[in-house]
Amino acid sequence: MLSYESVYNAPVDKLDAAVEAWTEQITKLKTLSEDMDESVVRATRNSGWSGPAAETAISFIDETAKEFTDAIAEATGIRDILREACDAIRRARDRLREIAEVEAPKLGLKVSPTGEVEADSWIPGSDWWNEEEIERISKEIERARVAATEADDSAAAALARNVNEEHDFNAPTYTSLADAEAKISEGRFSDAEKFMFEEMMRNVRGEDIKNMRENTENWYSTPEALLDFFNKVKADSDWDHKPILEDKFGLETANEYMFKIPGDPKGRSLSYDAWSNIHYGYVGMAAGIDEDLLMQAGSLNFGPFGRDDPGDQITMRAGIELYKKYGENLTQEQFHQEIMKMVDEMEAKGVDQVKPWKPTRGATS
C-alpha cells in the first residue's frame, strides 16, 4: 500500500502536466490525421492512378492513415487513464491534508509525518481517553491510502496493457481504471483456480498424503496421520494457502481479496480464502481422514479457516465432495464446474464469501 507520506505529498501537479501534454499531443495527431486524409488519401484515390504500383501505394497510404487513427485512440486512452488516476490520487491527498490540518486538531489529535494518530497532549493517558476518535481518524487515513493505492495499481496495469506494441499503435484495451480493475480481479480468479487445481493434484499424489493414507488404515497409527495432517494445514503451514495467495497477487486492500469470476453473468466474486478450504477437504479425504472429523476440525478452528462460518463449511464440504466424486481423476474443467456449483450454493445461502463484484470506482459499462 502507498505510504502516508507518498499520498500526502503526491505530485499531482506533475500528473496534471502530463495529462495536459497528452491532450496537446492528441490535438496535434488529429490535425496530422486530417491533413493526411485530405492531402494524401483523397488526392491519391481521386487521381485516376491505377495498376499494381497504384494498388501498392494506396494500400500503404491506407495503412499509414490507420496508424494515425490508432495513434489518436492510444494517446486518448493514455490521457484518460492518467487523468482518472490523477483525480483519484488528488482526492486522496486532499483528504489526508484535511484530516491532518483540520479534523484531527479540532479533536485534540495530531497526525505524525508517517500517518500515526495520537492525542496532542502532554497529559499521560491522553491516547487512552481519545481511543475511539484516534481509531476513527486512523481508519479515515487508511481509506484515503487505499483509494490512492487502488488508483495507482489500476492505472499501472491499464497503461501496461494498453501500450503493448513496440512498433504499432492500438486502440486502448482499457478505457478506465474500473475496466482495468475488473480484468485484474478476473485474472486473479483464473490464476488462483489453476494454481489450486495443480496444488491439489500435486499434493494428493505426493508422499505426505501417501504416508497419511497408509497410517489411517491402521487404528494404532491413525493419531500420527491426523497429527501430520493438521500440522500441514494449520495457520501459516505448508497447506495454508491464504498467505501464499496474498503474496502471489500482492493483496493489500479489502476489494482485492474478492476475485471477480470471469464470464459470470451475475457478475459475482469469490473470496480468496475459499481456495484453501477446498484444498483442505479434498486432500483430507485423500489422506483417508473421516469426513465428519474433517468437518468437526473446521468447527474447532483447526485447518486453514481461522474461524468457523457457513461459508467455510460449504467450501470445505466442496473439497470433500470433489474427492468423493472424482478421486484423483479430477480434471480442471470438472474442477471449474464444481466451483461454480459451490458459488451458486454460497450465494443462495447468503454467505459473505460470495458477493456481487464492484469496482472501487465507477465502471464505464
Domain boundaries, the chain: 4-175, 181-356
CA distance 336 to 193: 8
Task: Report whether 266 contacts 279 (CB < 8 A).
Answer: no
In CATH, which superfamily holds the domain spanning 4-175?
Answer: PPE superfamily (1.20.1260.20)
Query: Which residues pair with residue 270 across a beta bridge?
Result: 259, 354
- Our measurement of the distance from residue 22's CA atom to the centroid of its chain's CA atoms, rounded to an integer in Å, reads 28
Q: Which amino acid is at 182?
A: A
**pLDDT on residue 86:** 92
Question: Residues 6 or more apart from 251 whose CB is under 8 A from it?
Answer: 245, 257, 272
Average pLDDT per run of 10 along the chain, which is 365 residues long?
A: 93 90 88 70 63 65 70 84 90 95 93 92 69 90 89 84 63 77 91 97 94 87 88 89 90 84 96 95 94 78 57 95 96 97 97 90 42
Which run of H or of E encompasses 141? Answer: helix 131-162
**pLDDT on residue 101:** 96
**pLDDT on residue 147:** 86
Q: Which residue has the cell 502536466?
A: 17
Cell matching residue 213? 493414507
Q: What is the dihedral of CA 323, 328, 330, 332, to 10 degrees?
A: 120
Provide the pairing of β-strand 258-260 with 117-119: unpaired
**pLDDT on residue 313:** 92
What is this structure's pTM? 0.66
Q: Exposed (0-12), middle (13-18) or buried (19+): which is 241, by Cβ within 10 Å?
A: buried
CA distance 54 to 44: 9
CA atoms within 13 A on the CB side of 140: 19
Query: Which residues pair with residue 260 across a beta bridge?
Result: 269
Task: Report whether 212 contacts 229 (CB < 8 A).
Answer: yes
